[in-house]
Amino acid sequence: MTPGSRKELRVALIGFGLGGACFHAPLIAATAGMTLATVVTANAERRAQALRDYPGVQVVTDPDTLWKSAADHDLVVISTPNRSHVPLALAALSAGLAVVIDKPFAPTADEARQVIAAAQAKQLPLSAYHIRRWDSESLTLSGLLEQGALGRVLRFESRLERWRPEAKGGWKERGAPEEAGGLLYDIGSHLIDQALHLFGPVRDVYAELDIRRSGMEVDDDVFLALMHDNGVRSHLWTSCMAAQPGPRMRVMGDRAAFVKQLGDLQEPALRAGKRPGQSGWGEDPPERWGVLDDGVRRQAIPSVPGSYQSFYAQMVRALREGAPVPVDPEDAVTGLEIIAAARRSSAERRVIGL
Range list for CATH 3.30.360.10 in the chain:
136-307+337-353
Helices (DSSP H) in 103-261: which residue ranges?
109-122, 136-147, 183-186, 188-199
Alpha-carbon separation of residue 289 from 132, 158, 219, 264 (angstroms): 18, 16, 32, 10
* Segment (H or E) for 47: helix 44-53
| Confidence check: pLDDT of 2 > 70 | no
Q: What is the pLDDT of residues 78-125, one digit of tens each?
A: 999 999 999 999 999 999 999 999 999 999 999 999 999 999 999 999
Return the CATH fold of 8-129. Rossmann fold (3.40.50)
- The residues, ordered by sequence, that sit 6+ positions from 168 with a Cβ below 8 Å of its Cβ are none
**Contact assessment for residue 202 and residue 230, using Cβ atoms and an 8 Å cutoff:** no
Looking at domain 136-307+337-353, its CATH superfamily turns out to be Dihydrodipicolinate Reductase; domain 2 (3.30.360.10)
pLDDT at 4: 57
* Coil, helix or strand at residue 122: helix
Range list for CATH 3.40.50.720 in the chain:
8-129
Nearest-CA neighbor of 306 among 276, 333, 334, 336? Answer: 276
Long-range contacts of 299-303 (CB under 8 A, 24+ apart): 301/140, 301/144, 301/258, 303/136, 303/137, 303/140, 303/260
Measured N-to-C along each axis, helices 109-122 and 85-94 cross at an angle, to the nearest 10 degrees, of 10
| Confidence check: pLDDT of 76 > 70 | yes
| Confidence check: pLDDT of 348 > 70 | yes
Across the range 147-152, mean pLDDT stands at 98
Mean pLDDT, rounded, of the chain:
95
User: Is the bond leading into 104 cis (omega within 30 degrees of zero)?
Assistant: yes
Determine the Cα–Cα distance for residues 35 and 49; give it in Å rounded to an integer: 17
| Confidence check: pLDDT of 143 > 70 | yes
Q: What are the backbone dihedrals phi and psi of residue 276, each rounded to the nearest 5 degrees, phi first?
A: -55, 145
Alpha-carbon separation of residue 189 from 13, 110, 331 (angstroms): 21, 16, 11
